[in-house]
Structure 1
Amino acid sequence: MSRSTLLLSDLHLPNTPSPLRERFLSFLAGPARKAEAVYILGDLFEVWIGDAEGLADYRPEAQALRALRDSGVRVCYQHGNRDFMLGAAFAKAAGLELLADPIIVKLAGEPTLLSHGDIWCTDDLPYQRWRRFSRNPVAQFVYRRLPRAWRQKVAGQARGDGTRNKPAAILDVNADAIRNAFAEHGVARIIHGHTHRPTVHVLDIDGRQVERLVLADWRPELCEYLQIDDAGLIRKTVPG
């Protein structure tokens, strides 16, 4: 049997001491060491204002991720809506392989479309406008050159306005967007995070059965990752 692939997302690690950070370090030193690859599909961190600050605030995580990579495990990373400014400096220090979003990878022989997932929340029009603006290279160039206090303020406002006073329905992925993704990429499996609604959706797309797996967000009472190998897919938890 081949070594497993592990996937996780939406840990939202704060830059202050936290049980979530302890559990993540335990994951990197434990289950992750036995894997062939680890895919982090965004929002590993609660907020990101720059690589310099990130390397200072999250030094233990950067060192543990680099140690995992140096042990022979691929560590792949997609940007989330909270840490989309994570850049080359942190990625190099942590040994991260930055991935496009979405991207097709073969997991246990099955071509699988991986994404953070926010690109398919198309009913949330204000967020999609913010997403396009915030990913603009010019906007990012300007943001990186703001004083730290200003960057923290912008990040805090963006975080606070993300779901406030919005109907729950528009915070989930759009059904047509998902169907279009399956059709466009020709895959039978999508894995994503972002929505904090972990489950498996089985769909019929043009006469073929496909599945969409939503990863769990981390919280003190449950820290979950998805393991994929030749035996199938199983959700596992990091012991407390």
Structure 2
Amino acid sequence: MGKPPFPAPDILTAPPSWRCIDFVSDLHLHEGLLRTRDAFARYLQDTPADAVLILGDLFEAWVGDDMRCEPFEAGCVQALRAFGERRHLAIMVGNRDFLLGEDMLQACAAHPLGDPTVLKAFGQRHLLIHGDSLCLADTAYLQFRAQVRQPAWQQAFLAAPLGARLDQARRMREASQAHQQQQAREEWADVDEAAAEAWLDAAGAHTLVHGHTHRPASTPFGGLQDGMARWRHVTMDWDLDHGAPRAEVLRLTAEGFSRHPVTA
């Protein structure tokens, strides 16, 4: 598959008052992750960040903004809004919650974060994406993605009753989990390096920040660009309810990127 064209990115310029920007993604929140939900709420309350940028898959499944009134989701909205009313909260949709829309953003006092977005902060440009659009080896998923991002498909899906949409999302999630269980985690699709380098060149950025792949790491990426090394920072998926706990925030300050664990 060839390199996908670079979409026109949103631009987010950090004001001079910002000293700390946090990135999180892939919390996959649902009713089975109560400890994870509570830890996220405490993090939002305690973080020193001037801005929290969520890079997709905040929820395991989002079947329409009427979900925000369901008991579990309403608790998430309350925690998000408490932060969004005080500081800058921005949400990028992912492959699990791509139907999250304006009504939900307003309920959370959050700003939309485009995929891609160029963040201009501390004298540098950083390219922010969810990551799924550049997993070019996962051709079956990319075909599905193209279908469900069509306005006609979304309009038809959202016209169904909430219960029916939740049932369909549950079946799709079970099918996805069954497929993942047949593969070792290291076999899951990753961002295509050549395509990501092309996007970085187009964005005039040296740093790529993304989630989706569940492979948290900060590593040099590709070759030099204008004599400077490229870096890729992959955010961690969260789960404090099952198995070995994992939850982490990627933080950017004038000194650079750092990682900070979150505990239950």
Tell me the TM-score normalised to structure 2 length.
Answer: 0.84
* Residue 81 of structure 2, aligned match among 57, 66, 70: 66
Amino acid at match of 1:234: S
CA distance, structure 1, for counterparts of residue 60 and residue 54 of structure 2: 14
Q: Which digits, 9 at most, give the CA deviation of each residue in 1:150-194, with x for residues without a partner?
A: 312332233234361467545111122212212222210010000
Match of 2:235 in 1: 215
CA distance, structure 2, for counterparts of residue 201 and residue 48 of structure 1: 32
CA distance, structure 2, for counterparts of residue 154 and residue 127 of structure 1: 17
RMSD over aligned CA atoms reads 1.9
* Residue 143 of structure 2, aligned match among 100, 113, 129: 129
CA distance, structure 2, for counterparts of residue 99 and residue 107 of structure 1: 15
Once the 2 structures are TM-superposed, how far is the Cα of residue 215 of structure 1 from its aligned partner?
A: 0.4
Match of 1:226 in 2: 250
CA distance, structure 2, for counterparts of residue 54 and residue 26 of structure 1: 20
Cα distance change of structure 1 residues 49 and 175 upon mapping to structure 2, 3 Å threshold: same
CA distance, structure 2, for counterparts of residue 198 and residue 150 of structure 1: 35
Q: Describe how 1:36-51 pairs up with structure 2 within 5 A.
A: 36-51=50-65
Match of 1:3 in 2: 19
Cα distance change of structure 1 residues 38 and 195 upon mapping to structure 2, 3 Å threshold: same
Once the 2 structures are TM-superposed, how far is the Cα of residue 55 of structure 1 from its aligned partner?
A: 3.0
Counting matched residue pairs gives: 237
Where do 5+ consecutive residues of structure 2 fail to align?
1-16
Once the 2 structures are TM-superposed, how far is the Cα of residue 139 of structure 1 from its aligned partner?
A: 0.5
* Residue 24 of structure 1, aligned match among 40, 48, 68: 40
* Residue 183 of structure 1, aligned match among 178, 201, 222: 201
CA distance, structure 2, for counterparts of residue 214 and residue 69 of structure 1: 24
Residue 146 of structure 2 aligns to a residue in which SS? Answer: helix
Tell me the TM-score normalised to structure 1 length.
Answer: 0.91
Once the 2 structures are TM-superposed, how far is the Cα of residue 15 of structure 1 from its aligned partner?
A: 3.0
Q: Is the 8 A contact 1:82 1:159 kept in 2?
A: no
The worse-fitting range, judged by mean Cα deviation, of 192-201 and 58-67 is: 58-67
Cα distance change of structure 1 residues 188 and 196 upon mapping to structure 2, 3 Å threshold: same
CA distance, structure 2, for counterparts of residue 74 and residue 55 of structure 1: 23
Share of identical aligned residues, percent? 32
* Residue 200 of structure 1, aligned match among 218, 222, 225: 218
Q: Is the 8 A contact 2:33 2:239 kept in 1?
A: no
Q: Is the 8 A contact 2:105 2:112 kept in 1?
A: yes
CA distance, structure 2, for counterparts of residue 109 and residue 229 of structure 1: 11
The worse-fitting range, judged by mean Cα deviation, of 7-16 and 48-57 is: 48-57
